[in-house]
């Protein structure tokens, strides 16, 4: 196991290095921040001084090596717009993004797994066809369209829920969260629902497919022959085999919820990292964009590692195979 972790860490360092080059080149090629950050009425002397202070007077390769040197010390640069360390700005917004992502993931698991198990165990029934039709709708509806529709119905039309913002915060076990207050929960409902619809559909179809593939296997027939209860066969023997693909996909989807909830955060004015990224792009805040992308890549790497390690807890056979290798 230790060898596996070390191998993955080395691979992660290589991936981060290559991604940093691609990200830096991509961001460097988009516009000139000086045209946005420096007022048009500024003199040429003031303009040159500002460009020098921002480090924009250096060639791209030199800017990259400065960034790489600072990044190895834990410094991803200072924001052009806010004049603060990018890491502190991102970490200040990250709790709101994590809250939204984990709530959406929790909702997708709580709803998607039971629906998938019902559909898989009662395949080709009316209930199965109804669930699968609903999952197709969840796949097909764009996130921005769903978000706007939810706002129009539940915020504008019925006045049941607030249309934007994070709401009042409170503390649970020392953690500041919207879940600690009723107002915060009301503000969470619409963005979480909008963000989780696609994931619910994905988990439902994945679970159904796993149930259908596992039920005809020999060990399930043997369990039935032993006279085990249907509930024990489904929830213990069958579901354990279904968990591995679910964990794989859900792990990656958690990364996508954290990284790509930009549309949802923008529509609902959710004060997370996604909205911070959009604001940084409109202002060509290069250090902020690069820092956000690098932190996002590292999140994906960490999540992927945790998913791989969790396999050995779900299925002991995977742990034995790693020992042999």
pLDDT on residue 193:
92
* pLDDT above 70 (res 157): yes
When pLDDT is averaged across residues 307-313 and rounded to a whole number, the result is 69
pLDDT on residue 192:
92
pLDDT-based confidence at 151, cuts 50/70/90? Answer: very high
State pLDDT tens for residues 44-90.
787 778 777 777 777 778 888 888 888 888 888 888 888 888 888 88
pLDDT on residue 190:
92
* pLDDT above 70 (res 321): no
pLDDT on residue 230:
75
* pLDDT above 60 (res 319): no
When pLDDT is averaged across residues 174-198 and rounded to a whole number, the result is 89
pLDDT on residue 325:
45
**Structure tokens belonging to residue 155:** 């915020």
pLDDT on residue 257:
82
When pLDDT is averaged across residues 119-129 and rounded to a whole number, the result is 85
Cross-strand partners of 175: 172
State pLDDT tens for residues 2-37.
777 787 788 888 888 888 888 888 877 776 777 666
pLDDT-based confidence at 242, cuts 50/70/90? Answer: confident
User: What percentage of the chain has pLDDT greater than the value 70?
Assistant: 92
Maximum mean pLDDT: which of 57-71, 193-207, 299-313: 193-207
State pLDDT tens for residues 244-301.
778 777 777 787 788 778 888 888 988 888 888 888 888 888 888 888 888 888 888 8
């Amino acid at each position: 196991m230790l060898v596996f972790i070390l191998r993955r860490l080395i691979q992660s360092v290589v991936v981060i290095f290559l991604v940093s080059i691609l990200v830096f080149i991509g961001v460097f090629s988009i516009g000139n921040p000086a045209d946005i950050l420096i007022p048009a009425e500024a003199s040429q002397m003031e303009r040159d001084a500002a460009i020098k202070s921002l480090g924009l007077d250096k060639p791209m390769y030199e800017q990259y090596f400065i960034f790489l040197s600072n990044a190895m010390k834990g410094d991803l640069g200072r924001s052009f717009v806010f004049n603060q360390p990018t890491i502190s700005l991102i970490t200040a917004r990250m709790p709101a993004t994590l809250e939204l992502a984990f709530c959406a993931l929790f909702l997708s698991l709580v709803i998607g797994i039971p629906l998938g198990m019902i559909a898989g165990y009662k395949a080709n029934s009316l209930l199965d066809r109804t669930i699968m039709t609903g999952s197709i709708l969840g796949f097909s509806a764009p996130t921005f369209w769903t978000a706007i529709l939810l706002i129009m119905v539940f915020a504008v039309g019925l006045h049941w829920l607030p249309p934007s913002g994070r709401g009042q915060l409170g503390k649970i076990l020392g953690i500041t969260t919207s879940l600690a207050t009723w107002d915060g929960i009301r503000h969470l409902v619409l963005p979480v629902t909008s963000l989780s619809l696609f994931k619910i559909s994905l988990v439902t179809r994945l679970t159904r497919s796993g149930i259908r593939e596992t039920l005809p296997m020999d060990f399930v027939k043997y369990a039935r022959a032993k006279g085990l209860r249907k509930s024990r066969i489904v929830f213990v023997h069958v579901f354990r085999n279904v968990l591995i693909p679910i964990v794989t996909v859900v792990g990656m989807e958690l990364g996508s919820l954290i990284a790509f909830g930009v549309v949802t955060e923008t529509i609902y004015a959710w004060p997370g990292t996604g909205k911070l990224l959009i604001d940084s792009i409109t202002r060509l805040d290069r250090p902020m964009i690069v820092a956000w992308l690098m932190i996002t890549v590292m999140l994906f790497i960490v999540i992927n590692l945790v998913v791989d390690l969790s396999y050995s807890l779900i299925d002991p056979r995977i742990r034995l195979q790693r020992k042999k290798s």
